[in-house]
Amino acid sequence: MLTGEEKFVRSGQVRLWTERFGRPDDPTVLLVMGTSTQGIGWPDELVGALVNSGRQVIRFDHRDTGRSDSVDFTTHPYALADMAADTAAVLDGYGVPAAHIVGSSLGAAIGQWLAVHHAVRVRTLTALASSPMGNNPGPAWARAMAGQPAAADELPPPTARFFNHVMDSVKAPRTTVQQRMDAAVQTWRVLNGDVLPFDEPAARLFVEHCYARADNLAAASNHDLAGRRWDDDRRASLSRITAATLVLHGSDDPLFPQAHGEALAEQIPAAQLEIVPGMGHHPFFSPGLTERIAGSIIRHTT
C-alpha cells in the first residue's frame, strides 16, 4: 500500500483530511473526487504513477466524506463555491499557490469553478467524467423518469439502467451494513458501464475501506443537496477558462453520456477532448484503465 503524509487542514470552520505524496519541490497535482466519494477513490496505482513521473500528489476527503468534518446542511447549507473554497484551502495548507487540478465528476465541476473564478490557482485542468458546471440536469432527468423525450437544447439524461438502479434503491432501502455495502458495490458496477470488465473484488475492498474509515457515512448525501443548487457563479461562461484543459470522457458513461464531455470541451477554449472507448463513469474498477488515465494526466501536465 502506498504511504503518504496525512494531515488536516482548515477551510473556515471545516477540517479536511488530506494526504500528500512525492517531493514538495515537484509540480503539484491535486486530485478532486466526485460526489459523496472519499479521496481514496483515487487509487494508489494512479497516485504512484504520477509520483514516479515527478509530481507531488495531494488527495483529500471532501467535507461530509471520510475523515473530514461533517456539516449540518440544514443550518449551514453549502454549494459548489464552498467546495471549491475547500479545494483551494487544501492547496493553502501545503503552501501551493497553483496546481494541476484533476477532477472527476463533481470534482471536475469544482475544477471548472476554480479555473473560471480563481484562475491563478489552476496550472492545468483535467476534467474526467464530467459535464459543464452550469448544466442543470434536473429537467432532463424528470422528463426521462416520466418517459418523455429530452428537450432539443438539453444534454442527455443517464441511461435507463442507471435510472432503474436508482429507483430500485428507493423502492428497497437497505437496512443492514452488509446490505448497504452490497448496494454500494452494485452502484459502482452500474457506473462502470456495460462494455468493459468490472473488478468486483477491488470495488468491494474499496467499499469496505470507506466504511471502516468514515466518521459519518450518512453525511455524504449532503453532496446531492449541494449539487442541486444552481447559483449564478456556477453559470459563468466556461469561455473564461485560460488553463490548458483536457476533457477525459468514456464512450459508455451511464451517468453523463458522451455528449456531456463533448459539450464541456466545446465550451472551453482550445480544450482537448479524449474519448476513452468503453469507459463508464468511474474508470478505476476496470482493469487497465487506471494506467491509461494516469498516462493521459502525465502527458497533459508535462
Alpha helices (H) along 15-77: 44-52
* Residue 2 identity: L
Active site residues: 105, 253, 281
Residue 232: DSSP 8-state: G
Quote the distance between the C-alpha of residue 80 and its chain's center: 12
Give the position of cell 464541456. 264
Q: What does each C-alpha distance from 92 to 75, 96, 98, 107, 175 come to in angstroms?
A: 27, 6, 9, 18, 40
**Burial of 13 by CB count in 10 Å (0-12 exposed, 13-18 middle, 19+ buried)?**
exposed
Alpha helices (H) along the chain: 44-52, 80-93, 106-117, 138-145, 160-171, 177-192, 200-213, 222-227, 258-267, 289-300
